[in-house]
Chain A
Amino acid sequence: MAIEIEQPCVGLSKVAVSETHGEDSPYFAGWKAYDENPYDETTNPSGVIQMGLAENQVSFDLLEKYLEEHSEASSWGKGSVSGFRENALFQDYHGLLSFRKAMASFMEQVRGGRAKFDPNRVVLTAGATAANELLTFILADPGDALLVPTPYYPGFDRDLRWRTGVKIVPIHCDSSNNFQITTPALEAAYSEAESMNIKVRGVLITNPSNPLGATVQRSVLEDILDFVTRKNIHLVSDEIYSGSVFSSSEFISVAEILEARQYKNSERVHIVYSLSKDLGLPGFRVGTIYSYNDKVVTTARRMSSFTLISSQTQHLLASMLSDKCFTENYIKINRERLRKRYDMIIEGLRSAGIDCLKGNAGLFCWMNLSPFLEKPTREGELALWNSMVHEVKLNISPGSSCHCSEPGWFRVCFANMSEQTLEVALKRIHNFMVKKRSE
């Protein structure tokens, strides 16, 4: 006989009332400070500068120019009747073939042609957020775990865990070796999960890394691949920043390693990609899963029904990304501009007496303020962070929100603002450090 249990609230699901959406973390508190007092060059020059948002705004002019010169191809064409109709009706979860081809080709270009991608393995989702969640639903059961190296993107706590019921067990990395992933660390994480009776289903890495802003070295990738093969688990490689590596030759994708191994044991590997960072189009919700596992491709495709990409957007990007001249030029110039920004911020921080992890990719740098903490603890870090947000008026992301085991590191974004604004930010940091040293 059913036992009636009085629902204390309005009877929502456990998922709904949990806090795994993660929005109560300090990562978001800084956002609130920015929202309440946003910097503007002219109207609010003393407002909070947003440096917590990993957006790429340095290359929009290239995209705008493309659209101006190719409006026929990217819209539905002038007199064409069937273009719009067909596109508006297209809801096939395979996605537009032309778009899949263009994505595969773009991914190849980003990797300098060092890996091949088959358009039939490209599964489309509305953003990498959806792709990561979807893969988790496919690779793990509720209560199982994915191993994720720290520090990691704060959003993973929500994307990988919230609705899936899957856990994250951290692979601890630290500054002693520039936060690189090591086999002992992998083994330790695996053992930790085992000791808690948690089944590990896979490892998820971000390469280039968020928040480190650095690519994963070839030998480390090889080690990770060997590890997951040994344990017979999956490997998800989130490569959404692959086009943001300052120098093309420095990025090694897991796809290249698999090709070199003639795809042996590749059915456990899945790559996540997106156009939100490399092309600066987060609003368009373009994510992909590229899996070497047939069953994963089929299942992911079916699941993508919940999160398809607007056919209008697929159409626009199919035309843009299949223009190889445009994409090659874009990739090259985008890299150069990001490198220039990176150099600018590193130099600015150095002259303020602040060191950063040596980075070579991404839209942010990993800044080391540990020498300046009152106490070498999480509380010390948050106290310093509080000053940064409310006194210096810079929203940067504290390492603890990225689950970094060492206090004092901060992620600082540099590609989501104009050069002038970046200069203002650097000046503020400089002044803050001068003041701090004199105290």
Chain B
Amino acid sequence: MGLESEQSRLLLSKIATSDRHGENSPYFDGWKAYDRDPFHPTNNPQGVIQMGLAENQLSLDLIEDWIRKNPKASICTAEGVNEFKNVAIFQDYHGFPEFRKAIAKFMSKVRGGRVTFDPERIVMGGGATGANELVTFCLADPGDAFLVPSPCYPAFGRDLGWRTGVQVLPFQCDSSNGFQVTKKALEAAYNKARENNINVKGLIITNPSNPLGTTLDRDTLVELVSFINEKNIHLVCDEIYAATVFNSPNFVSVSEIIQDMEYVNRDLIHVVYSLSKDMGLPGFRVGIVYSYNDLVVQCARKMSSFGLVSSQTQHLLASMLSDEEFVENFLKESSKRLAKRYNTFTKGLEQVGITCLKSNAGLFFWMDLRRLLKEQTIEGEMELWRVIINEVKLNVSPGSSFHCSEFGWFRVCFANMDDETVKVALDRIRVFVCRGKEEDEQQQPASTVNTKRWKTNLRLSFSSRRHDHQEGVMSPHMMSPHSPMPHSPLVRART
């Protein structure tokens, strides 16, 4: 029909037709499986449990409680509607001063008061997604590169590179030292890029780490800061999980480090923050760019016009985050609940012989299933992953989606479900692992070097596909907005 051929002739931009949006990857299979068959304790107890979404649902009741007790903070209530007009017309890209002050204070509290933040440096972004893209637009040109230690957040490729044209270059960290970033690895990556004529503009780190759930120690941070200072490249620290630290060691922010490093050029240091993880408010789109570079603050502020925080939301949060008592209690309680949830899971897994990377932060743990792989390759990992989704019915995220060079690691989110669901998830894992052990014992005498943990007679209800990035475009009708389950995530940020 004429329409189709006309559509193909009517070109869109290169950015539009590229696939740097990242949605063509095979990792969407897990999401699809969840969307098609989402777990519900009563309506669908056999459904897939969502453990691929790094959300913090454990402490929303505290926030709700505050909102109920503070009707004035909302412009929709009788008590607060008198502020409606002032709030509704406020589109100044500086943001409400009260909002900036409250955010600066909150950021400081999250760091135990060990550092203070200047409200004049607070710039808004459309969530951390918007903030990361915004700061990249300020720091790098198309073709420039940012280094990032892997395993890393899968959407960095999109956030830092899709519309900016900047390259995102992951460099490997592995389990030999608990996946810690080392100056050696960073330097090697930097040199390699330079040898290939790539203009490295900066380094981006996530601290606490997604997907590892670990925090960087002071010495490593100092090394990283010294390195970027020496090479005169930028350092972007994505600290969006700062308040999810639930165990020692304490969180050390780059902001603290530079206080004791007088010689460092502060124009190279930029922090990205958000309330999506620490407070569990991803819907509110509160992203923050905090730069120590005046020019970047000025430029970023102008650019923030493309992704300001709704004044209604600024108004509510300005009030909430200035309530010092509430904030202190929230941070303490949230930490406690995360610790409890983490312990429940890791202990439960230990009982069936599954270990995780020792971590102290985040909304997930980094699970080690290397010994369950048929082969230590990406195909092996993907095969195991498909079994976990389709047989065990858990949507977890395979390490390869985080650019992890070692196969067999999986990120498992634990803060986006209630206690009942936790039990079900643990039970399923136990059953799966034990079934593997049983069949092992039945079929193989003694131990052999290549003991396989599950047998080929386990039906793969999912036809195994090759690891193929060219798989079908995600057209709108596949992401049905009409999912029967109210919590079905559709296509959210894959984090």
Contact = CB atoms under 8 A, between A and B. Distances in A.
A353 B83 CA distance: 40
Interface stretch (B255-263, B282-290, B363-371): B282-290
A87 B124 CA distance: 21
A306 B137 contact: no
Contacts of B194: 2
A138 interface: yes
Interface residues of B, number: 93
A12 B163 contact: no
Contact of B481 (A97, A139, A265): A97
B221 to A, nearest CB: 22
Interface centre among B76, B194, B197, B308 (most CB of A within 10 A): B76
A291 to B, nearest CB: 11
A21 B142 CA distance: 18
Nearest to B155: A305
A280 B473 CA distance: 39
B201 interface: yes
A26 interface: no
A283 B84 CA distance: 10
B298 to A, nearest CB: 9
A88 interface: yes
A76 B63 CA distance: 13
Contact of A91 (B7, B64, B85, B283): B283
Given A137-B15, A297-B476, A310 B284 contact: yes
B312 A284 contact: yes
B333 interface: no
Contact of B313 (A81, A91, A133, A313): A313
Contact of A68 (B81, B233, B305): B81
Nearest to B10: A268
Interface string B416-435: 00000000000000000000
A60 B85 contact: yes
Given A298-B474, A316-B76, A310 B283 contact: yes
A196 interface: no
A2 B137 contact: no
A68 B78 contact: yes
B126 interface: yes
A2 B302 CA distance: 33
A89 B130 contact: no
A12 B75 contact: no
B88 A60 contact: yes
Given A232-B10, A309-B285, A71 B77 contact: yes
Interface in A273-302: 276, 280-285, 293-299, 301-302
A141 interface: yes
A75 interface: yes
B16 A295 contact: yes
A212 B226 CA distance: 56
B481 A94 contact: yes
Contacts of A84: 60, 63-64, 67
A88 B492 CA distance: 14
A280 B89 CA distance: 7
A16 B91 contact: no
A285 B12 contact: no
A89 to B, nearest CB: 6
B330 to A, nearest CB: 14
A370 B491 CA distance: 55
A280 B91 CA distance: 11
A367 interface: no
Contacts of B305: 127, 129-130, 158
A75 B280 CA distance: 19
A232 to B, nearest CB: 6
Nearest to A229: B6
Interface centre among A129, A298, A308 (most CB of B within 10 A): A308
A312 B310 CA distance: 9
B55 A89 contact: yes
A301 B493 CA distance: 12
Contacts of A29: none
B163 A163 contact: yes
Interface string A307-351: 111111100100000000000000000000000000000000000
Contacts of A17: 295
B492 A91 contact: yes
Contacts of A74: 76
How many chain A residues sit at the interface, stated as a range, is: 35 or more
B490 A308 contact: no
Given A64-B84, A295-B7, A138 B13 contact: yes
A138 B283 contact: no
A57 interface: yes
Contacts of B357: none
Contacts of A9: 295
B307 A130 contact: yes
B23 interface: yes
Interface in B139-184: 139-142, 144, 158-159, 162-163
B489 interface: yes
A64 B86 CA distance: 11
Interface in B9-25: 9-10, 12-16, 21, 23
B207 interface: no
B299 A12 contact: yes
Contact of B280 (A16, A81, A88): A88
B43 interface: no
Interface string B452-492: 00000000000000000000011110010100001101111
A7 B202 CA distance: 14
Contact of B284 (A63, A283, A312): A312
Contacts of A23: 302
Contact of A64 (B81, B309, B311, B486): B81
A430 interface: no
B89 A55 contact: yes
A13 B138 contact: yes
Contacts of B141: 13-15
A93 B492 contact: yes
A282 B479 CA distance: 31
B494 to A, nearest CB: 11
A125 to B, nearest CB: 9
Interface string A259-275: 00000010110000000
A75 B74 CA distance: 8
B309 A306 contact: no
Given A64-B84, A163-B137, A298-B474, A138 B307 contact: no
A284 to B, nearest CB: 5
A183 interface: no
Given A310-B310, A313-B312, A67 B283 contact: no
B293 A88 contact: no
A15 B135 CA distance: 11
Contacts of A87: 283
A375 to B, nearest CB: 34
16 contacts: A12-B139, A17-B295, A23-B302, A60-B88, A71-B77, A75-B74, A84-B67, A127-B306, A139-B13, A142-B142, A283-B310, A293-B10, A294-B7, A305-B129, A310-B313, A312-B316
Given A130-B307, A283-B88, A306-B307, 4 more contacts: A11-B139, A281-B89, A294-B476, A310-B313
Of all A-B residue pairs in the complex, the 8 with the closest CB atoms, nearest first, are: A311-B283, A283-B311, A310-B310, A75-B76, A282-B91, A91-B282, A283-B90, A74-B76
